[in-house]
Amino acid sequence: EVQLLESGGGLVQPGGSLRVSCAVSGFTFTSYAMSWVRQAPGKGLEWISAISGSGGSTHYADSVKGRFTISRDNSKNTLSLQMNSLRAEDTAVYHCAKDRSIAPSRTSAFDVWGQGAMVTVSS
Amino acid sequence: SYELTQPPSVSVSPGQTANITCSGDKLGDKYACWYQQKPGQSPVLLLYQDTKRPSGIPERFSGSNSGSTATLTISGTQAMDEADYYCQAWDSSTVVFGGGTKLTVL
């Protein structure tokens, strides 16, 4: 069974840092790109970052560029998102999502989603 | 930056056809996909590459994409289809989601 399980969410003060991770199982991790998609309470979906199957290509939304870093450890089947300089507007549920494609591209579509990790940025 | 525009809400009677639109500049030149999200749940991929259904998605979900508008069509809408629906496309090395449409079945 294909599974994505996020961890590492929590409460952090503005300006602080947090790392969320996603442990995957049930498919060949290196064959698929992965993304992080967040959803603020009561709001819609917002894509924030993607990484190719090899990890050699990364992409970011303007809202997080320079503050967040996506990475993957293909030996441990784990996806991570390092979040620095956090702001109140970063408060959201952070989902990892499996892409149907090996690299982020015009054919990208997310066919498996984790349940999400809640990140709250507040003093 | 690229934007995808969806109507905030759509209403449909049970058994009828619901159409949810997604508009963006030259969207027809890109691939559109669609997700369904029910309260408290993660999104589910309904359609990818405009018209393709992943395994397990009922045939009543179909799609089209031409010009500047992609459309999700739900035929024979059921009460269980009441949910939020999001379109998504790729532009300039980023993924873009529409703002979402709440489908009410009444």
Q: Which of A15, A43, A27, A36 is nearest to A95 (CA)?
A: A36
Helix (H, G, I), strand (E, B) or coil at A103: coil
- Give the model confidence (pLDDT) of B14-54 as tens digits: 999 999 999 999 999 999 999 999 999 999 999 999 999 99
Rg (CA), chain B: 13
The beta-carbon neighbor of B95 closest among A108, A113, A116 is A108
Q: What is the mean pLDDT of chain B?
A: 97
- Give the model confidence (pLDDT) of A29-63 as tens digits: 999 999 999 999 999 999 999 999 999 999 999 99
8 A C-beta contact, residue B38 and residue B21: no
What is the pLDDT, as a whole number, of residue A16?
98
CA distance B49 to chain A (A): 6
Q: Are B88 and A109 within 8 A, CB to CB?
A: yes
Q: Are A115 and B42 within 8 A, CB to CB?
A: yes
Residues of B in contact with A106 (CB under 8 A): 30-31, 89-90
